[in-house]
Amino acid sequence: MPRPRSTPPTATFLDAIIWFESQGKTQTTSAHAATESAPADEPSAEMVAAQAAYEKSSEKTDFSKKMDSVWEYLKKLFRLSLDTKFIATRRDAIILNIPHPDSPSSPCLPGAPRYG
């Protein structure tokens, strides 16, 4: 035999809260607020040591610094290639020829103007 419901099946969440309050099944607690912040406690020695260890572990290595330098150089070259025609040569032979994106001979790049 199913257990009888004390609230109708169409009850809302608010109805459930009201029912719980009427049954005395809720706790009444009050919130406290302050307009001034409490003084901050000094961090523990363990926290200071953990912060120092984290800062040391997050320092970049020489390899990482060099890779950042290479990446910045490549970004600079790429920006330059967008402004001008980029040609790479080796032993008087053109090994890479990238035209300016707005030129008629540019490849079909998304968003690039197309001619012809």
Considering the entire predicted model, what is its pTM?
Answer: 0.29
Using alpha carbons, list the distances in angstroms from residue 34 to 2, 8, 31, 37, 42: 50, 42, 10, 7, 21
Which is higher by pLDDT, 47 or 109? 47
- Please report the pLDDT score of residue 76 as a whole number: 86
Percentage of residues in the chain with pLDDT exceeding 90? 7
Give the count of alpha carbons within 13 A of 90, CB side only.
Answer: 2
Contact status, residue 101 vs residue 109, Cβ threshold 8 Å: yes
* Model confidence band, residue 111 (pLDDT cutoffs 50, 70, 90): low
Cα–Cα distance measured from residue 60 to residue 57, given in angstroms and rounded to the nearest whole number = 8
CA–CA gap between residue 105 and residue 103 (Å, rounded): 5
48-96 pLDDT, tens digit per residue, is: 999 999 988 888 888 888 898 999 998 888 777 666 676 788 888 888 8
